[in-house]
A and B are shown apart, each in its own frame.
Chain A
Amino acid sequence: MNARARIAGAVALVLASVAGTGAVVANSAEVQRTSPGPHVSAEHGRYLVRAGDCMSCHTADNGAPFAGGRAVPTPFGTIYSTNITPDRSTGIGDWSEDDFYRAMHQGIARDGHHLYPAFPYPWFTRISRDDVRDIKAYLGTRPAVRAVNRAPELPWPLSVRGAMAVWNGMYLHEGVYGSDPTKSAAWNRGAYLVRGLGHCGACHGDKNFAGAVDKDHPLAGGFAEHMYAPALTGGKRDGLGQWSEQDIVEYLGSGRNAIATAGGAMAEVVEQSTQYLSEADRRAIAVYLKSLPAPGTERQASVGDGTMKRGAALYLDNCEACHMRGGTGQSGAFPPLRNSSAVQAAEPDTLIAAILQGDRVPATKADQTALAMPAFADKLDDREIAQLTTYIRNAWGNHAGSVDAGDVHDMRKQLRKAGH
């Protein structure tokens, strides 16, 4: 059903891109209902800019909002986000609505150069024209900041922007989201947000050698910098199979629920973006995510008693004070580890990184403290962290692949390289 809807959508999108703007607008009729109407609304744009978490990437540490310059590390090299303030010479003050729409939709800047897909246009291409217009209108209300864009640090041939035309030809599935008439309005709204503005798959999707997300498994879990963003599909252990819709609504609002707490990059996403979504939109996302099927096979692992025993001792000494006996966590304070989909994710990278460098939960309106976990990189060695991680992933009914000292060693190297 889902697959067929996608194919139908893709066909429509191809037609749309052939037929031009008119068809695209017609195709987004469903989406327009959730937008405020034909009049440009900067206020609505502000909401959308939050939903798209634009500020996170387009603001450097201690930099002016939206003035760009934040380093975005990719497996291929470092790309710097651009100035999207209305400054006429260095920002997008001179861009027309059509220029902005083309950038969002096709990844092509005003002067015709290709943008790199670290800017998530492969997702933003799903956004309706009205919404793109409102986003531009809101950005137009921000203070103009003069900040010259910094060139990306990429090796040849990626340094040649024209190469992106080839990439787009292979991987960009251009076109506004087409609603599925067999699904509810909430489902469609959720799909529109997740697959479009929310660009969830940029982290939670499996990437190929070219950095493109596998279009058949866009939310099956994936690597993002040195973390592993867990699957958002229906897997019982490592996906959202055990989460209720309400669990998802709570998580997006406050960064925590009875099952898991956001950490790492997701803590920032909750702080900057999802906590500002309306409850209706958070619920729409939940409806859509809960409709995703579980992957077919679940990985089995068996862990030796010796490792579990040593892991248990390490857990008692280092973790139990906050995460409590049995990995229950402390409701309202520290995350549970038992039954946690993040802990049992297909890949252990996030967990290893959290133990090595520490982590923190998001500070939100409801929960003001970014409760932090200390770093254990100096206290535990690779073997100990491997044993501990394996234990946490397999204690109290948890079940996930084991970790060896080499994995921890590699992560240390990665984090050092990234300057963490």
Chain B
Amino acid sequence: MSIRSDAYSICKHVWDSPSREHLKSVVRKLQASEFGYLAQGQHAQILSFLVIDQRKPELEKKLQLLRIIPLDDEDRILLSKAHKQILQLNMKCIAPLSAELPQCVKAVDPYHKFKYKLSEVPDGDILSEEVLGKMAKSFNEHPAIKAAIQSVKAATIKMTEDEYIKAVSIFYETLIKAGAYDAPNHIINIMFSHKDSLQRTIARHITALTCIQASLSVLDQLIYQAILNNKLPLLDKNNIIEIGQMSNNLVGNGLFLSYQPGEQLSTVNISDIVLVKIETPGLPLGELWQAQAVHREYSQEFGSCAELTLREVDENLNLFGHLLEHI
């Protein structure tokens, strides 16, 4: 069993949870409104809607033509309960890290950049205590958690919470900005330094924390998608137009493909987790990927086509698995 397969299992539990249908209809309703348009850019799953709700006055002032319908109290509570449970899951997943390095907790929180204060609500019910515990136990074995703890011991790294937040954010942004097909140059340079050098150990530490954040983010995204759908978006021989660039680099695996939107799969948004099932003789492709960039076009002359830049999600739900392994 891997973290990935355990994540698949909890998604199945989400389908049967008591408030799933209600939650799904609320999110779908919001997605179809201005809320959806604004929330999509936040890439923060359920929290996106709560953030937009909180920023409503400011956004309406800034974007004068936009009218954001206020969230019903009932809907706000429902969303808050679900998000609260995601946060609880995330905290349990990183329990060994928070026990050893409490100052890192905020840095690995995928939602740390949002200044959103969750109101006092009862616990949600999309995940039972047992399921939540099982997932957390699996995630506790994440190699990045072990690497983060070991590296800090090896180099006696002393950083404040803010320094951790800043370091992980910058590192994460650097990896994302380099794109799915490339490893950033200065990270490659660090790879050439001695394995026990201070520089390399610090890099390993920050890499490990970044990987934890990335894996939590993927886990949360999978749960969010499970609330909305019973299947992951599928890209296969029935909708893929072309497989373009494939990259196996020091950070992870990247892939460019184009597909024809249709009944099987209409829209893929940035951060969505997708399944790719296609035979590429001589160069087998992984199945689980996250959309990093999306380009869509439609015309009467050429029909519709969507291009995706994807990053592979490994068995630890990690987007940067190669980096963790090699650094």
A and B together in one complex: no
Please give the residue numbers on chain B whose beta carbons come within 8 Å of chain A beta carbons, in ascending order.
none
Q: Taking beta carbons and an 8 Å cutoff, which residues of A are in contact with B?
A: none
